[in-house]
Chains A and B, each alone.
Chain A
């Protein structure tokens, strides 16, 4: 307890230690946010010249745009399927990697490997792998006799987006598995022994012991993944640039195209703000639900 008097004696010390990080983060974040709000309310020329105050005109334009609405729908589909797919695959993968088996170190390393590769590079490689005539995906499928001719993966709207979702799942697994494995390592081993002595089957052990203990980690993984996946730019930008026929745009790629390709920065700023609101609302609702459910369970227990 000898530290207490000192901590009380210097209440400013922790703040002094925190200030540099706070200043740097606020500097990089606050001006851009201010600027986005400002641009979204003004008529901005293609070259970034701010003209007149235009009220909510940029927002009207965005909502009237057919591509925005499909990008919004795609973003929800993209985020939902990538996050759900990732969690559904990562839970069993983490459970397997937590077993004691030969080559576990190698297996863990392989599962983690996509994390080390830039999303941009991954997307470039998959774009080549899904090439119509020369890509290794079609070559392999044909060699295995699964398809008769080349499938035009990235040129067909019905295929391109699911393919990108699969790539999104693949690159999100390492991070999610990491968090879940951290959770599993905090589970004491003797409770399983006790359960086994009581005659619990493997499935019962999973449902009654592992899953409840993993729950906070799964929740955290879902929240962080939703944030990352919702904001994920390179996969779609590099693989299809929103095409074919704007069918694979999500909000980030649409935002980038508006701002830096089509020369409509005011509308791009409006999309940024809409996205911020969606993300913020999701996080607040999610954390609230978590807290409520947590306290409800606490009451029962």
Chain B
């Protein structure tokens, strides 16, 4: 037996309890979502469905108002990501390229915004939304309020990730562009940004995922069913109900989770580099 094979067995053995714990909820979601109601509530329960009921996903789409919630989640996540990036890109560029005064203060400010999680401010955020007039009413129960607050709370993360990547883009390229008569701004757009595209894409996707997964702010600000996002919609299927149709709930959680998990699985290695660099510098 070669040594790498032996090491592989040991590594997998060491990781096995964690692997089981991580995959357990996915297995629960998957198998429950295909059981007919009569098999969900049967004692003693069993893991595998005896009859695989695909119809659950069709029923869930109706019961959970899934199409509407899905669209809301997409709209909120896309727009808040766009807004967060629009303000974070210039700030990250400044942090990576200019040794300016107040840089340390700005970094500390970002750390403090990380500390003030939305849930701590939720009582005041609600008031803020209620104060701003919009349409016939105010920003309570409007997606705009949610979008803007997500963007604001994601700035720290986005600036952090982006500036740590930007530091790895060599300066020489921009500088040689200046020597060839390109303006500083021109060099940013023609030389720097094309090189930074991967970093921007990765940051955008992680910002998107965190907006997609957020709960406390939407739960507080959004009241009407036509504006609810997936996290709130799924919680509503469970919370305060006397009987919960778990097979439909599991179908909804799996359908809401799987696309994001797949994208995340594909991109997670970029996270290791970006976060670690940002964390200690």
| A residues with CB within 8 A of B | 2-3, 6-7, 11, 13-18, 20-22, 24-25, 27-29, 31-36, 39, 48, 89, 92-93, 96-97, 99-104, 107-122, 124-129, 131, 133-136, 139-140, 142, 170, 173, 178-179, 181-183, 185-186, 216-217, 220-221, 224, 227-228, 231, 233-234, 238, 241, 252, 255-256, 259-260, 265, 268-269, 272, 275-276, 279-280, 283
Q: Quick check: A268 and B253 within 8 Å, CB to CB?
A: no
Q: Quick check: A102 and B8 within 8 Å, CB to CB?
A: yes
Q: Smallest distance from the beta carbon of A262 to chain B beta carbons, Å? A: 13
Classify the secondary structure of A's interface with B: helix
B152 interface neighbour in A24, A89, A110, Cβ under 8 Å: A24
Q: Quick check: A173 and B18 within 8 Å, CB to CB?
A: yes
Instruction: Determine whether B78 belongs to the interface, using a CB cutoff of 8 Å to chain A.
Output: no
Q: Quick check: B11 and A21 within 8 Å, CB to CB?
A: no
Q: Quick check: B213 and A117 within 8 Å, CB to CB?
A: yes
Q: Smallest distance from the beta carbon of A52 to chain B beta carbons, Å? A: 18
Q: Which residue of B lies closest to A230 (CB)?
A: B117
B257 interface neighbour in A31, A118, A140, Cβ under 8 Å: A118
Q: Smallest distance from the beta carbon of B259 to chain A beta carbons, Å? A: 10
9 pairs of residues in contact across A and B, judged by CB atoms under 8 Å: A29-B113, A29-B152, A107-B15, A113-B26, A118-B213, A128-B32, A139-B44, A227-B114, A272-B123
Residues of A close to B102: CB separation below 8 A: 15
Q: Smallest distance from the beta carbon of B269 to chain A beta carbons, Å? A: 7
Residues of A close to B167: CB separation below 8 A: none
Residues of B close to A109: CB separation below 8 A: 265, 268
Q: Smallest distance from the beta carbon of B180 to chain A beta carbons, Å? A: 13
Residues of B close to A133: CB separation below 8 A: 43, 45
Q: Quick check: B115 and A181 within 8 Å, CB to CB?
A: no
Additional A-B contacts beyond A33-B124, A136-B31, A220-B279 (19; CB < 8 A): A7-B98, A24-B83, A25-B156, A101-B12, A110-B19, A111-B19, A116-B209, A116-B260, A117-B260, A117-B261, A118-B230, A122-B25, A125-B29, A129-B25, A182-B279, A231-B117, A255-B119, A259-B126, A283-B115
Q: Quick check: A231 and B120 within 8 Å, CB to CB?
A: yes
Residues of B close to A16: CB separation below 8 A: 90
Q: Given the known A-B contacts A18-B91, A112-B265, A134-B40, are A99 and B11 also in contact in the complex, defined by CB atoms under 8 Å?
A: yes
Q: Quick check: B279 and A33 within 8 Å, CB to CB?
A: no
CA A280 – CA B114 in complex, angstroms?
Answer: 11
A128 interface neighbour in B152, B249, B257, B275, Cβ under 8 Å: B249
B115 interface neighbour in A217, A220, A227, Cβ under 8 Å: A227
Residues of A close to B5: CB separation below 8 A: 102
Q: Quick check: A217 and B276 within 8 Å, CB to CB?
A: yes
Q: Quick check: A134 and B45 within 8 Å, CB to CB?
A: yes
Q: Quick check: B43 and A134 within 8 Å, CB to CB?
A: yes
B238 interface neighbour in A114, A220, A238, Cβ under 8 Å: A238
Q: Quick check: B155 and A21 within 8 Å, CB to CB?
A: yes
Residues of A close to B171: CB separation below 8 A: 3
Q: Quick check: A28 and B117 within 8 Å, CB to CB?
A: no
Q: Quick check: A276 and B276 within 8 Å, CB to CB?
A: no
